[in-house]
Amino acid sequence: MKHNWSLLVRISMSGLLVLVLVSLLSIFFVQSLRYTEAGKVPPKTAVMLHAVNKQLLPEGLKTPSFLASKAPPTIQQLEMIMDTKDGDTIPIRVYKPVADGPHPVIVYFHGGAFMEGFGNIETHDNIIRSLAARTKAIVVAPGYRLAPEHVFPTAVNDNYETLEWVVESSEQLDADVERIAVAGDSAGGNLAAAVALKTKQLDGPKIESMALLYPLTTFEDIELNSRDRYSSGYYFLSRSVMERAREVYTPNKMDWHSPYSSPLLAEDLSDLPDTLVITGEFDPLRDEGEAFAHRLHEAGVYTEAVRFNGVMHGFISFYEVMGRGEEGMQLVSDFMRRASSDNALTTDEAQMFKVNIRQEQDTWRDEVEAYIMGVYLISRHIQSWFS
């Protein structure tokens, strides 16, 4: 009996020693990843950047089940088809509340560099679905046509026609067409701004609010610090991809100056919808997004500009595993709910424009998950050495 107890103690001590060594190794590994080419990043951002760039991210990555909150379904998914005015068709994904309406509508344009293979409804389904659940609004996501087969302004036209389709289908959707918003990330943010400009020019359906997540706002070659500093591709968006997107989406260089491709260059931004612009610190599109927000404010548009420090391009797509991504997702949802409520957003026109900086600070959960992911990444590297 005494021998068995002694053996159990030795095994326990050995297991504890291994656990301590693995933990220390993970901490050292994760801390080493924090030093990137353009500066030091938080632990969770560091492991996400490394995992994606080394293609080590497991499929279906999401919050561990013991940390996830469960709730009954409040939305339903519909797959629909819209006829375009040029004789083609595009798919439309709709998430709508189970409860009776009419409900406000958010038309969401997915990102993906305007090109095939970089983004679609499926790659952005988590954002679309979550936005519907959090806002209790109908979220309509068009699968607009992409370059190189379909060049500018096809994507703009498809998305504007989706806006018109929402109004025409309001009874079927149980939609409140007096409360329509548009939103989009990256290329989708560019398209949301373009649709807002187009409906203003054509006196089309009224858009109440607009949320632009790290949007591309100009195709012109202008000096922007963030484009130069963070465009290597390590932060999820490279200069080569941006240049390729411009080449295939707008092959006619004259189109680079159109307000529908470069909304930052639009002469008149007045009377656009109340707008939220979200940017990330380590994002080549940061400066042009904030410049667009500044111009909106100068034009008298109610504008909120928020920069999340410590994160890269596309960080809200990782809201399920990144605290700052979750914070950004909730910020968009809260803005949309406020904009569609009876309490209209107002601003003091004399107020100076200011970007609200959300400082980098991982939550305890982010810290723990970063080091757990560090153990996983180390194991993947070891596997690759012996394979």
CATH number at residue 239: 3.40.50.1820
251 and 173 part of one domain: yes
SS3 at position 340: coil
65 within some domain:
no
Backbone dihedral angles phi then psi of residue 101, each to the nearest 5 degrees: -105, -150
Quote the Cα angle for 329-332-334, to 5°: 105
Closest Cα to residue 327, out of 344, 343, 306? Answer: 306
Find, among 321, 309, 331, the residue nearest to 366 by Cα. 321
- Which is catalytic among the residues 158, 185, 274, 283? 283
3-state secondary structure of 378: helix
151 with 286, same domain: the answer is: yes
Same domain, yes or no, for 54 and 105?
A: no
One digit per residue, the tens of pLDDT, for the chain of length 387 reads 555 666 565 666 666 666 667 667 777 777 888 888 877 888 888 888 888 787 776 555 554 443 344 445 788 999 999 999 999 999 999 999 999 889 999 999 999 999 999 999 999 999 999 999 999 999 999 999 999 999 999 999 999 999 999 999 999 999 999 999 999 999 999 999 999 999 999 999 999 999 999 999 999 999 999 999 999 999 999 999 999 999 999 999 999 999 999 999 999 999 999 999 999 999 999 999 999 999 999 999 999 999 999 999 999 999 988 889 999 999 999 999 999 886 666 655 556 688 898 876 667 777 888 878 878 788 877 777 776
The Cβ of residue 140 has, within 10 Å, a number of other Cβ atoms equal to 29
Q: Is the dihedral of CA 275, 281, 285, 288 positive or negative?
A: positive
Residue linked to tokens 């757990």: 372
Q: How many CB atoms lie within 10 A of CB 56?
A: 17
Q: Which amino acid is at 134?
A: R
Give the model's pLDDT for residue 62: 53
Residue 88 covered by a domain:
yes
Q: Are residues 38 and 102 located together in one domain of the fold?
A: no
- Residue 63: the pLDDT is 46
Domain count, the chain: 2
Inter-axis angle of helices 125-135 and 323-339, to 10 degrees? 50
Helices vs. strands in the chain: H and E counts, helices first:
11, 11
Query: Do 90 and 204 have their domain in common?
Result: yes
Residues 6+ apart with CB under 8 A from 242: 113, 216, 227, 231, 284
The closest of 113, 277, 158, 141 to 210, measured between CA atoms, is: 277
Q: What is the pTM for the complete model shown? A: 0.89
Specify whether 6 is catalytic.
Answer: no
Structural domain includes residue 292: yes
In 3-state terms, what secondary structure has residue 294? helix
Q: Do 230 and 306 share a domain, yes or no?
A: yes
Does 90 lie in the same domain as 32?
no
Calculate the alpha carbon distances from 365 to 66, 219, 368 in Å: 12, 39, 5
Do both 54 and 75 map to the same domain? no
Domain holding 26, by residue range, is: 2-59+369-386
* Integer Cα distance of 220 and 262 in angstroms: 8
Same domain, 110 and 159: yes
Task: Report yes or no on 66 lying in a domain.
Answer: no
Of 186, 209, 226, 317, which is the active-site residue?
Answer: 186
For residue 363, tell me if it sits in a domain. Answer: no
Tokens 């601003």, residue located:
347
Nearest Cα neighbor of 369 from 45, 130, 25 is 45
Look up residue 338 and give its amino acid: R
What's the confidence (pLDDT) of residue 10? 62
Do 76 and 208 reside in the same domain of the chain?
yes
Has residue 361 been placed in a domain?
no
Same domain (yes/no): 272, 294: yes
The answer to whether residue 186 is catalytic is yes
* Active-site option among 158, 313, 317, 340: 313
The verdict on 21 and 134 lying in the same domain is: no
Residue 360 lies in a domain: no
Angle between helix axes 43-53 and 364-386 (nearest 10 degrees) is: 30
Alpha helices in 97-224 (DSSP H): 125-135, 154-168, 170-173, 187-202
Q: Would you say residue 105 lies in a domain?
A: yes
Phi, psi angle pair for 307, to nearest 5°? -110, 130
93: β partners:
79, 141
Q: What is the pLDDT of residue 270?
A: 96
